[in-house]
Amino acid sequence: MSQTCKSLFTATAKYRQRDALNRLADTIRPREVAAAIVELALSEPGCKSATVVLGFNGAGNCETEPATTLDPEEMDLVRAANERAASAASAGGRRLAMPLFQPNPLIPASILLLEMDGPFDGLIKVSPDPLRHAHSYINQ
């Protein structure tokens, strides 16, 4: 990839991230917060898909943003991340489920489910500040 193309890609990704963070700061609806989180995740190179699972209570009753039906492997990852209160990766390493917030027994969990083009090669770096801001809104 030429330096010009690489710089353009980086600038575009940073603009998309800043735009998503601005929308995140301006919203109070849980689905809008979830949509902004999805957009932030999708702006990362190699992220093939992102879904926020809202209101997960451990039994599989939940909503997703974007609206979709989770396959059995995705549900297993979401359950594992919820039970461990930590990230859970698929056997192939291409899918990852991570709780968005600290567990609270009174509030159903919100889990970010990611799929990458290739295996995850380490921890995903997520800035905690926007997520802390989102926490109070997504669990309303």
Per-residue pLDDT band at 45 (split at 50, 70, 90):
confident
Tabulate helix, strand, coil % of the chain (nearest 5): 45, 20, 35
Total domains present in the chain: 1
Structure tokens at 7: 């710089």
**Exposed/middle/buried for 124, CB within 10 Å: 0-12, 13-18, 19+?**
middle
Q: What is the pLDDT of residues 53-88, one digit of tens each?
A: 998 887 767 899 999 999 999 999 999 999 988 889
Question: Residue 64 sits in a domain of what CATH number?
Answer: 3.30.450
Strands lying side by side in the sheet with 88-89: 63-65, 47-56, 109-116, 95-99, 88-89
Q: What is the pLDDT of residues 22-44, one digit of tens each?
A: 665 666 678 888 888 898 889 88
User: By residue range, what is the domain housing residue 69?
Assistant: 3-138
